[in-house]
Structure 1
Amino acid sequence: MNSIQIKGAYENNLKHISVSIPKNKLVVLTGPSGSGKSTLAMDTLQRECQRQYMESLGMTTDSVSKSKVEAMVGLSPSISIGQQITNRNPRSTVGTVTDMFTYLRLIYERLGEHKCPNCQYTILPSLDKETMQEETSGYTQYIHCPHCNTRLEKFTRSHFSFNTPEGACPTCDGLGEVSDIKKDMVIDENVSLNDGCVKVWMSGTYFDYQKHNVLTAAEYYQIPIDEKQLLNDYSVAQRDLLFYGVESQQFKAHFPNVKPPKTVSKGKFEGVLTSIWRRYKEKGGQSSEASLFFSQTCPDCHGKRLNKESRDVLVHNTSITELTTISLEDIYYWLQNLQTSLTEGQKIFVETYLHDLLEKISRVLKVGLGYLNLDRQTITLSGGEAQRLRLASLLGSGLTGVLYILDEPTAGLHPKDTKGLVDIMKQLRDLGNTVLVIEHDVDVMKEADHIIDMGPEAGSGGGEIVGEGTVQELQSQTESVTGAFLRENRNTIFKRRKGTGQAIQIQNAFKHNLKNISIDIPLNRLVSVSGVSGSGKSTLIFDVLANQDTTECESITGLEAINDVITASQAGLSRMQRSNVSTYTDMFTTVRNLFANLPEAKEQGFRAKNFSFNTAGGRCENCQGLGFISLNMHFIYDLEVVCPVCHGTRFKEELLTVKYEGYSVSDILNMSIAETMELFENHKALAPKIQLLNEIGLGYLKWGQSLTTLSGGEGQRLKLAKELNKKTNNHTLYILDEPSNGLHPKDVKQLLVLLNKLVESGNTVIVVEHNIDIIRASDWVIDLGPEGGNDGGAVVATGTPEEVVHSKTSYTAKFLKESLRV
């Protein structure tokens, strides 16, 4: 069969649609935000592919609900790549998730040179003389120094990993940073025990219990503590007892011949700081005490993660830690130079590793991520970066006959790098795979073999196929939303605002890759900060300006004209599945109170807390108010199955009998924001919130949708809406990170209306953007570059869009010129 046939799909807002997806083609699925693209691709197609795959393995699929579709034929094994970053492990880096670091470690194992610690003779890998010695833990390899014959442990790939005992820095355990307690938040030196010198001991029974324990311990060691004595007057032994407890090495040093008490009644006391540390470690840094800690660069390895011996091993006069801190583009050139400098004998050992590593890096360069370095933590990547990194890795798998489903891979990508990304997708296609891409980028559409356009609106107004074909064919289809955008006259004349004449001035910023740049940001204007990925935009605007970090620049002036600063970045809003759109916007508190005041609720004795899915009383206890049960699938990612007790409603049956205008509290959570506009149009507290969320292009989101499912752009716009609902004093500075992320061109227009409204109200809006439609509509543009990483960090153009287009070194200028048609 040459195509995947979907007939009568009716999941979520899909209106019993039928569509044919040609196999072994690059297919773009587009349409306004919320029109049903993800529902069709992920919730219908991907879910059924997954279900049938499990069935073919003989696994039970009873708990996995079938997609709501009449028929689906011609399916292939599928791999979906979304924008959510699920790996929150601080040990996970770009190097580890791509396996590039593994190949680099293998090269250092074979070619590494190091000095003998006894005689400082340089030991070359070709001179290794191995012996084997059996130990209780297995076999350890040794070499002998050819100069002094000292036996040394041989360096293996494990010695170059910060995730192994052999390679990790012993001080920070390979994390590159160490945590410590903010003592001023825990201890007050100028207060007595009675008056609360230990701030974390709350007043009441707990305080009395802990005070009694430490006084008993002090009596046991015959160093009695006066309850009214100021802490800074304690002896060293008394302080060590209070801080570290009777079992600590610090305190034992004062009484080496005294056995610590075994029970609390006799004087066993853990110590204030020791107790906090224990709870912090037990819960992996997620305890309530997390706010009492701060992190700083490891004083021994200086953030390099490896121990000194491993850091001192050199290949081509470079340590492995030096390589992990430079950009992938620079590593690529370093590896090429290494390749040409190797002897024939050395090539035999590392030729394969070098070839494979160069291939891996070249694919990452093609998708515009050459500015990343290997030790970059994956939790710091944007959704678009993480997706493109995985996409580049998949190309090396060599799989054929696979259906790849990609969710907006151009998110956060400068137009300059779009071609490289398209080339990667075409290579996947040419291997004999089908590539289905949810995308709004016109340049990607132009390269697609087939386009499926959904719409015409979001939410209940969408869910239909409104156009199909190539870009040229869509332009002739009157129902196509995307076709209408492609047909419209783009020769818009923009009126550039002059602003107040005042400006924020940043002098000589040098953080990360910024090259001592100085810029003026005009106030009361819409300002776009553009440039290729990794050029320094976020560093300049978020790290320096938003944080007002004058340690990384000479000065920041002009902020006295600003009354308030509101920032909205791409960082995820919450890791908790319980946090959803309604709780984040504080809408659900109002709704719970609304339901609690209904006559039916009062008759049954229900209170506002009973209408919460986060607390016991009204929620379904089988799923604890989530509406689903998570199944551990072991070798594939977990599945979420509708709760068999509440059937996804989250609540007990008796709660669902209470209705507002015919809707239960569960019904409200399952409605989209747009669908509740009419329902709450006369409610003073809810109506403005709903209207603003619609204006900002989020009307398609459901109130009960988990924040963990939102893209970076959706999360940012939700945060912006929450901030806009607060009353602020003019003049407010809004700093936004790619607010157009995930928006169809039709929705970008709506976003621009909101941004312009903010400026017209006397505010300043700064957007870090790649979207040419946003940049061309701005009053002022600051373009950084010319490249990413070490080759970026410079100002290549500033001025109005009409002035920036004349820059000879700006990539943005080229695309801006085409858009403005000047």
Structure 2
Amino acid sequence: MRQITYRGIKTNNLKNLNINIIPNSLTCICGCSGSGKSSLAFDTIHAISKSEINSLVNDDYENFNYVVDFYDNILFSVALKQLNFNINPKSSILSYFHLSNELNLLVSSLSKQYTKNAISLSPKNICPRCLGNGFTKEIDINKIIDINIKLKDNPFIPWLNSYKDFYTQILNSYINDIGINANLKFHELSKTAQYDLLYKTSINKYKIIYKIGTKTRVKTDFYKGIMLCNAIDISEQYIKHVVCEKCKGTRLNQSINDIKIFNYSLQDILLSSFNDLSKIFKSFSIKNTNYTLKKLDAFVTECIKLGLGHLNFSRSIPTLSGGELQRLRIAKIFIANINNIMIVLDEPTSSLHPDEIQNLVKEIQKLKHNNTIVAVEHNKELISKSDYAFYIGLKSGKEGGNLISKKEYDLSQYFELKKVNFKVSDSQNIKLQNLSFLNFKGELVINHNRLIGISSKSGVGKTSLLRNILPMHLNSYQYISQKPIKANINSTIGTYSGIFDDIKKLFALTSCDKDYFCKNKNIICKNCNGNGKVLVLEKYKNKFYDICSYCNGSGFDKKFLKFKVFGMNINEIVNLNIEKLKYFNFSEKINKKILLLDELGLSHLCLNRSILNISGGEQQRLKLFKSLSDNNSKIFGLDEPTKGLGDKDILKIISLLYKSIKNENKTFIVAEHNPLFLSYCNDIIEMKRDSNVVKIIFNSSIEKIKNCKESEISKFILT
């Protein structure tokens, strides 16, 4: 058998690696975060295949950054990364995976009501209410109220704009009129008073003399509750998307939704979960052996095996996690019957309950019969079932990139952490309420000043609980999502963390002209505007850059680089990783931030590392850094903070959370699948889907979970 060969790999931090991959095998690439796993799997192995294919079929130049001495016998490669950059609301599972043609054929062959291209989102087919988006926009009450502000100071955040003076005065006039205490905070009001402020219009008009900037204006008007405003007139950051009442999320008009196939409407087919749709398709099969039906049924069946049974054909692609989208792509590969390719996977087991991982492993093993699988992975279950495993390490960043043994890697992951059981300072009962897309049942208890883990299988509602329900009940609460940080080409670890500005102030102390360091125009390279690279070619939608010859890629003006702190200029400092910066005595403020980044497992990153070039897990830990640096919040909802981490880094994060609970009385409510993380929690909240209802099956201290017969996670908890 001819091996796939790579020799002398020096991409990014990789240290002259020699790799052989056996066709029709499963090879796992393992190692700690930042060690070089993605550099090997995606930036080298996949990039080489893509480069060779592009040179044959594509006229456009694409710059690849791999460095390798020799390669041979490569295969056509498909990379399935855990990234979801799709922001098109009209993009659904049905359209994204080109399954609408199959469904059209199925409907045309089995329904007398069929009209041509019924499933397409053409102007004549779309829902007139949502215009084919599947949702409508509403003001999100959880985002518009600052619960720490008194009524007299105007707690409604969208009104804190240039018209703040007007809104504050008319609010106080209305409050005085209806007899509400202006010194109270919004959450201290009765439900009736809250409703009056949000949804009512005043009986009287008020003459308001107000200022905009330096100008004084006069306006006589009624008070109108903020929830009566048109959502279009409110900033997008205060808006939520609600499933369209008319089409229920199908995006299609009523005549299309009502098309019937064997007593099921097209709306039923589009909105039924894959778990339920599989049963519907099987009832169709009894009456018709249609090729397109078999193809759709095969996709649905594969999705169920991969832990995606909770999804439906109308599910919007932008709402999917990276893990869900990757597994959907795996399902599509199965039904496409593509063979003899290399499939490169990005932690396919992440975002899965331990019970669901076993099915995924079986499906991946089936894929390798006709294909070659390379997976970046931490999960021991998948690694143990692989044919070959490469370990990269020992450390991250510049100190990683070496091939090491499994024994060396296992030893490097040792981190001693004693479980801490914090006393409950206060408890809060929260009555669960149904969301437009999820039916919750019962109530839960949140114990403050504890580490609380939320466990369930995929799609049961962990994220919805953190994002939609808890903010309505918990004061000083902050949710940290898995969504990417909003960043541009100049966004770096240094700028996002604020450390870059702090270091600039140190440089300002080296000169009499302090203002010189405050203005970015003085310190950045004029030729590249601080990017470190210049645009050399723009063809179609692609842009190609080259290193700026004026600053040699640093992005800094040469005059600025003459100034030094600790014998180094600014460019030398931002190119050091966090691990090395720990040993510099900058200032108490900077040192505290650097230590926090280190404790979050980000010590391998440099301050000039672009936000756009770090993993989703690294981005989430950066957001956690930002939140922990802000002392305004006391309760945090974290969504899978261990994604992309090995055992040592997981334990380091737990250690940091313990420290925050002990020293700052914080509370962490964490949606997680990782049994190691859950085993160190004080309390566990476990949810389970029962038909269309989500119920709480366990809500207590972790010591009691072994006695819960319904629990699906207890057998994985380490005791």
1:304/1:355 CA distance change after superposition, 3 Å: closer
Residue 445 of structure 1 corresponds to which residue in structure 2? 383
What does the per-residue CA deviation read over 1:644-668, in whole Å, with 9 as the maximum and x for residues that have no partner?
Answer: 5455333455544544445443444
Residue 249 of structure 1 corresponds to which residue in structure 2? none
| Structure 2 alignment gaps of length 5 or more | 145-157, 171-204, 224-228
Paired residue for 1:173, among 131, 151, 161?
131
Q: TM-score, normalised by structure 1?
A: 0.72
Residue 372 of structure 2 corresponds to which residue in structure 1? 434
1:765/1:107 CA distance change after superposition, 3 Å: same
Q: Distance in 2 between matches of 1:195 and 1:497?
A: 51
Q: Distance in 2 between matches of 1:180 and 1:534?
A: 24
Q: TM-score, normalised by structure 2?
A: 0.81
Q: Distance in 2 between matches of 1:626 and 1:685?
A: 28
- The alignment status of 1:569 with 2:481, answered yes or no, reads yes
What does the per-residue CA deviation read over 1:201-221, in whole Å, with 9 as the maximum and x for residues that have no partner?
Answer: x777xx9xxxxxxxxxxxxxx
1:337/1:780 CA distance change after superposition, 3 Å: same
Q: Distance in 1 between matches of 2:238 and 2:58?
A: 50
Q: Distance in 2 between matches of 1:507 and 1:229?
A: 43
Paired residue for 2:603, among 690, 699, 707?
699
User: Counterpart of 2:299 in 1: which secondary structure?
Assistant: helix
| 8 Å contact from structure 1 (residues 87, 379) kept in 2 | yes
Shift of 1:769: 0.9
Q: Percent identity?
A: 26
Residue 720 of structure 1 corresponds to which residue in structure 2? 624
| 8 Å contact from structure 2 (residues 206, 220) kept in 1 | yes
Shift of 1:742: 0.9
Residue 671 of structure 1 corresponds to which residue in structure 2? 576
What does the per-residue CA deviation read over 1:268-292, in whole Å, with 9 as the maximum and x for residues that have no partner?
Answer: xxxxx99x98xx9xxxxxxx96569
| 8 Å contact from structure 1 (residues 595, 611) kept in 2 | no
Once the two structures are overlaid, the 10-residue window that deviates more, 443-452 or 82-91, is 82-91
- The alignment status of 1:230 with 2:230, answered yes or no, reads no
| Residues paired across the two proteins, number | 654
1:489/1:12 CA distance change after superposition, 3 Å: closer
1:657/1:352 CA distance change after superposition, 3 Å: farther
| 8 Å contact from structure 2 (residues 278, 297) kept in 1 | yes
Q: Distance in 2 between matches of 1:318 and 1:776?
A: 45
Residue 152 of structure 2 corresponds to which residue in structure 1? none
Aligned 1:590-629 pairs, distance under 5 A: 590-599=502-511, 606-610=516-520, 618-619=524-525, 621-622=527-528, 625=531, 627=533, 629=535
User: In the alignment, residue 769 of structure 1 is paired with which amino acid?
Assistant: E
Q: Distance in 1 between matches of 2:210 and 2:715?
A: 68
Q: Distance in 2 between matches of 1:662 and 1:627?
A: 26
| 8 Å contact from structure 2 (residues 456, 673) kept in 1 | yes
| 8 Å contact from structure 2 (residues 439, 692) kept in 1 | no
Residue 79 of structure 1 corresponds to which residue in structure 2? 78
Once the two structures are overlaid, the 10-residue window that deviates more, 444-453 or 398-407, is 398-407
Shift of 1:458: 1.6
User: Counterpart of 1:75 in 2: which secondary structure?
Assistant: coil
Q: Distance in 2 between matches of 1:229 and 1:53?
A: 67
Paired residue for 1:160, among 115, 119, 124?
119
User: Counterpart of 1:109 in 2: which secondary structure?
Assistant: helix
Paired residue for 2:322, among 383, 386, 400?
383
1:664/1:104 CA distance change after superposition, 3 Å: farther
| 8 Å contact from structure 1 (residues 41, 405) kept in 2 | yes
- The alignment status of 1:544 with 2:469, answered yes or no, reads yes
User: In the alignment, residue 370 of structure 1 is paired with which amino acid?
Assistant: G
Shift of 1:541: 3.2
User: In the alignment, residue 618 of structure 1 is paired with which amino acid?
Assistant: I
- The alignment status of 1:650 with 2:551, answered yes or no, reads no
Residue 745 of structure 1 corresponds to which residue in structure 2? 647
1:568/1:9 CA distance change after superposition, 3 Å: same
1:49/1:191 CA distance change after superposition, 3 Å: farther
Residue 367 of structure 1 corresponds to which residue in structure 2? 306
Residue 312 of structure 1 corresponds to which residue in structure 2? 258
1:527/1:591 CA distance change after superposition, 3 Å: same
User: In the alignment, residue 568 of structure 1 is paired with which amino acid?
Assistant: I
Shift of 1:30: 0.7
| 8 Å contact from structure 1 (residues 581, 702) kept in 2 | yes
Q: Distance in 2 between matches of 1:27 and 1:771?
A: 22
- The alignment status of 1:2 with 2:6, answered yes or no, reads no
| 8 Å contact from structure 2 (residues 295, 335) kept in 1 | no
| 8 Å contact from structure 2 (residues 489, 531) kept in 1 | no
Residue 333 of structure 1 corresponds to which residue in structure 2? 279
Shift of 1:328: 1.5
Shift of 1:387: 1.6
Residue 677 of structure 2 corresponds to which residue in structure 1? 774
User: In the alignment, residue 230 of structure 1 is paired with which amino acid?
Assistant: T
| 8 Å contact from structure 1 (residues 629, 643) kept in 2 | no
Residue 29 of structure 1 corresponds to which residue in structure 2? 29
User: Counterpart of 2:332 in 1: which secondary structure?
Assistant: helix
What does the per-residue CA deviation read over 1:189-231, in whole Å, with 9 as the maximum and x for residues that have no partner?
Answer: 96889967xx8xx777xx9xxxxxxxxxxxxxxxxxxx96736
Paired residue for 2:401, among 463, 468, 473?
463
Residue 400 of structure 1 corresponds to which residue in structure 2? 339
User: In the alignment, residue 670 of structure 2 is paired with which amino acid?
Assistant: V
- The alignment status of 1:589 with 2:514, answered yes or no, reads no
User: Counterpart of 1:19 in 2: which secondary structure?
Assistant: strand
What is the Cα-based RMSD across aligned positions, in Å? 3.7
User: Counterpart of 1:793 in 2: which secondary structure?
Assistant: strand
Residue 682 of structure 1 corresponds to which residue in structure 2? 586
Q: Distance in 2 between matches of 1:179 and 1:339?
A: 39
1:95/1:530 CA distance change after superposition, 3 Å: same
1:57/1:341 CA distance change after superposition, 3 Å: closer
Once the two structures are overlaid, the 10-residue window that deviates more, 174-183 or 86-95, is 174-183
- The alignment status of 1:503 with 2:408, answered yes or no, reads no
1:425/1:293 CA distance change after superposition, 3 Å: closer
1:372/1:670 CA distance change after superposition, 3 Å: farther
Paired residue for 2:615, among 711, 735, 756?
711
Q: Distance in 2 between matches of 1:507 and 1:179?
A: 25
What does the per-residue CA deviation read over 1:109-166, in whole Å, with 9 as the maximum and x for residues that have no partner?
Answer: 3333xxxxxxxxxxx35xxxxxxxxxxxxxxxxxxxxxxxxxxxx6122x333x2112
1:325/1:595 CA distance change after superposition, 3 Å: farther
| 8 Å contact from structure 1 (residues 48, 66) kept in 2 | no
Residue 355 of structure 2 corresponds to which residue in structure 1? 416
- The alignment status of 1:793 with 2:680, answered yes or no, reads no
User: In the alignment, residue 427 of structure 2 is paired with which amino acid?
Assistant: A
User: In the alignment, residue 34 of structure 1 is paired with which amino acid?
Assistant: G
Residue 44 of structure 1 corresponds to which residue in structure 2? 44
User: Counterpart of 1:799 in 2: which secondary structure?
Assistant: strand
| Structure 1 alignment gaps of length 5 or more | 113-123, 126-153, 208-226, 234-272, 281-287, 468-473, 549-558
| 8 Å contact from structure 2 (residues 257, 267) kept in 1 | yes
Q: Distance in 2 between matches of 1:84 and 1:55?
A: 26
User: In the alignment, residue 173 of structure 1 is paired with which amino acid?
Assistant: L
Larger of the two Rg values belongs to structure: 1
1:699/1:493 CA distance change after superposition, 3 Å: closer
